[in-house]
Amino acid sequence: MRGDEVKLLSAILQDRPSMPDAACVGEDPDLWFAFEGTEERARAQRICAACPMRALCTEAAKASNEPHGVWGGHNFDATAEPDSSGTCKSGHDLGVWGQVIRPRNANPYLRCMACLPPPRPVGPKTHCIRGHEFTPENTVIVRDGKARACRVCKRDRQRASRALAKQLESTIGALEVSA
């Protein structure tokens, strides 16, 4: 560990109660701040599991709102389980109405299920995404009969594709002539 890391860890631990009987005494402090899912993090949690000071360590971390690391065997990183105590903006109890949402590549968060808008009614679409009405004359069945598409939108895509191909041909032709 570098000197600045030792100073940072010393500053973090300065306000902590003294725990000379803790199982982590003498271990590498980096274990408790390793990335989640690594062997180092798992080792730190195993050491904490057998520690006689585990409850005191956990309470000290909660009291100081520690945002990082493993304390008393618990994960206090921002990616840990969101706190479900309290209420949402509308006043609903998150212990009852809160659901943990775990998006990929982002931290999990709580969503109040009582505040969600009602689901949209399910039914057949009457218009395409660009607003053209699905009529028998304007509808083509695609994907082996499993979906339908707007003929106007399909025709517009084909025209744009042909125009782009024509433009590329003229650009390539101009480059060949100049070379």
Q: Is 112 annotated as a binding residue?
A: no
Q: Which residues of the chain have pLDDT under 50?
A: none
According to the model, what pLDDT value does residue 135 have? 93
Burial class for 19, CB neighbours closer than 10 Å (0-12, 13-18, 19+)? middle
H/E stretch holding 71? strand 70-71
Q: Is 51 annotated as a binding residue?
A: yes
According to the model, what pLDDT value does residue 61 have? 78
Query: Chain centroid to CA 19: how far?
Result: 36
According to the model, what pLDDT value does residue 79 have? 53
Q: Is 150 annotated as a binding residue?
A: no
**pLDDT tens profile 122-168:** 778 899 999 999 999 999 998 888 889 999 999 999 999 999 999 99
Cα–Cα distance for residue pair 101/107, rounded to 1 Å: 9
Cα–Cα distance for residue pair 136/149, rounded to 1 Å: 11
pTM of the model: 0.38
